[in-house]
Amino acid sequence: MNGNATTTHRNVALLSVASLMAPLITTSEEIDRRLKPVLTRLKLPTGLLQRVAGVYERRNWGPNETFDDAAVKAGEIALREAGIKPSDVGLLINTSVTRKHLEPSVAVRIHHGLGLPSSAINFDIANACLGFVNGMTLAAQLIDSGQIKYAVIIDGEDADEIQSNTIERLGRPGIKRKDFMSEFASLTLGSGAAAAVLGPADAHPGGHRILGGVTRAATQFNDLCVGSVDGMFTDAKALLRGGMELVVSAWTEAKRDWSWSNMDRYILHQVSSVHTNAIIKATGMDKTKIPLTFPTLGNVGPASIPITLAQEASTLKSGNRVLLMGVGSGLNTAMMELVW
């Protein structure tokens, strides 16, 4: 094995994965209408979100709905589907990028909402869009070590505020083409929630084995995508170029320990058609084995991988090999193999 870049798991299974969709739909056509004055002034065409990013819709929460309430509901669904009682959970990891405040953690609100025991460890992991896969890896290691028996990995995202702030700012006088394109990615973001339950494979023969995976970092690109509730600012070309270099490096080195060229399904972090096509070209993946949710859900941050997996689950058969894979701003990449 290639040192600390590769992890393997002996006795861990994914017992369930669940998602919760935000109920309101915001179309790219609607955003175009709201941005019409600035698009006209900058001589930019409408339809960029659809043609360039491949994003036609994204979801938003309704009145009195919050991302952490949604995360709790997703967790309740996942626990119910896994057949695991809250009292048996030993670990809760929240991976949400969204947060109402700096402290306390989002995890404490979800821990309380799920009715987990005081013995259940709970904390946040923040690693941009890779957080959920990182959380699964850490939980799997703790299960393998015998420190815990069951873990819940959870994520809730709310893109409403960043979406509104971005549209308002782009409409101000003085905005230039360069400014507009640096915030373009903010307009692709969507809201949603997801949760997964992990446990010992030997106690759950019907579970989906988590075999392990690889991680890689290219933190010299740490300033290419920087986000807050005000907006997400990117150098899109440099970000794509650096991200693909990182993916190719990790994919090539992984061949030493893994064989991922012919998986039954590739569950990618959902960013855009440009991003997906670049990964396909860089790795040689079979495009027909890559389900897409970004056209109708947008980029739901760390929740996008489990949301896509949850939607794809009914089409998977026992024994199917599944690769979870993403690139997160910073830059980091992670790839994790499951056997369904």
**Residue 289 is encoded by which pair of tokens?**
């084995």
Question: How far does Cα 288 stand from its chain's mean position?
Answer: 21
Question: How far does Cα 329 stand from its chain's mean position?
Answer: 12
Catalytic site residue 225?
no
Residue ranges in 100-235 assigned as alpha helix (H) = 106-114, 131-145, 160-170, 177-182
What torsion do the CA atoms of 229, 72, 79, 338 make, to the nearest 10 degrees? 0
51, exposed or middle or buried, with CB in 10 Å at 0-12, 13-18, 19+? exposed
First to last CA, the chain: 23
Task: For residue 267, report the phi and psi dihedrals to the nearest 5 degrees.
Answer: -100, 100
CB burial readout 71-104, b (16+ within 10 A) else e? bbbbbbbbbebbebebeebbbbbbbbbbbeeeee
Give the span between the Cα atoms of 150 and 196, in whole angstroms.
Answer: 11
Whole-number CA gyration radius for the chain: 20
Asked whether 186 and 270 are in contact (CB, 8 A), the reply is: no
Looking at this protein, which amino acid is placed at residue 282? A
Give the span between the Cα atoms of 188 and 206, in whole angstroms.
Answer: 37
Give the span between the Cα atoms of 127 and 217, in whole angstroms.
Answer: 11
For 319: left if phi > 0, alpha if psi spans -120 to 50, otherwise beta; the answer is left
Catalytic residue among 129, 157, 183, 337: 129
Residue 59 Cα distances to 192, 275, 296, angstroms: 7, 20, 8
Residues tagged active-site = 103, 129
